[in-house]
Homo-oligomer: A and B are copies of this chain.
Amino acid sequence: MRDGAEWILLDAGDVGALIADESWRDVVSAARQDATRKRIATDAAELAAPVLEPRKILCCGLNYLDHIAEAGREVPEYPTLFAKFADTLTAPLADIHIAGSEKVDWEAELAVVIGSRVRGASREEAEAAILGYTVANDVSCRDWQSRTLQWLQGKAWDRTTPIGPVIVTADEISPKEGLDITGEIDGVVMQQSNTRELAFDSADLVAYISQFTELGPGDIVLTGTPGGVGLGMQPQRWLRDGEVLTTRIEGIGELRNTMRIAAGSTEETQ
């Protein structure tokens, strides 16, 4: 938990485990008052992904009005959804190792962290089930993604989706009112939009997903990416070994990930 320029260490292994107990807000308040609890200066801390073991990660494609235009598609009636696995995630400052793809692309995204169990929800119930928001980059292997009709195999490479650096709770921030979202490569802005451009906002997505599957504490919904991805450029442009991918959302923070892209099979570098 952040307290000004310090992190207060909690006993929970990850945020998902913490918030699975409904009294978590009391636990956090008590920790803030507890002078004996260990603290680390924020600039000295090595951050892990804030949620390590979500049971479900659902991702929405084609959800920013500008990205929809870039992909040459119509504004959709329903959200396009696919899944990732818990170990697709990686830390906010981790290197991203990929071997076996020649078309690695970036997708800066707002990620929603679920705080309580939600099934068959209205928009209002969905909103109440949102713990908060964080930043993610849905790094995608476009060559694998386009091999078949289903995107999963381009989207679920182990430890390729950085997430973090913090979860800002829903009482502190409003993506619907608008937060700038930016994706950069080596400091050059590639994606620049605002979360108010989302066709389906966070509550829409949680309500929709909850019609067929229950979401629970620590589950994650990635809300889609704005325009400016490599796939949409002319000529197309892919991430290169050594490039630094920075993903930033106003009021939350930024991810900084160095790409480690090798030729050959995944076997050789893992």
Interface residues, chain A, with chain B CB atoms under 8 Å away:
55-56, 58, 61, 76-83, 85-88, 100, 119-121, 141, 144, 147-153, 156-158, 209, 211-214, 265-268, 270
Contact = CB atoms under 8 A, between A and B. Distances in A.
B61 A150 contact: yes
Contacts of A214: 87, 158
B157 A78 contact: no
A148 B76 CA distance: 8
7 contacts: A78-B153, A81-B148, A83-B85, A119-B158, A119-B267, A120-B266, A153-B212
Given A148-B76, A151-B150, A156 B87 contact: no
Q: So how many copies of this chain end up in the complex?
A: 2
Contacts of A211: 100, 265-267
A270 B152 contact: no
Contacts of A81: 148, 150, 152-153
Contact of A150 (B82, B266, B268): B82
B83 A152 contact: yes
A87 B80 CA distance: 21
Contact of A152 (B58, B267, B268): B58
A270 to B, nearest CB: 6
Contacts of A157: 212-213
A80 to B, nearest CB: 4
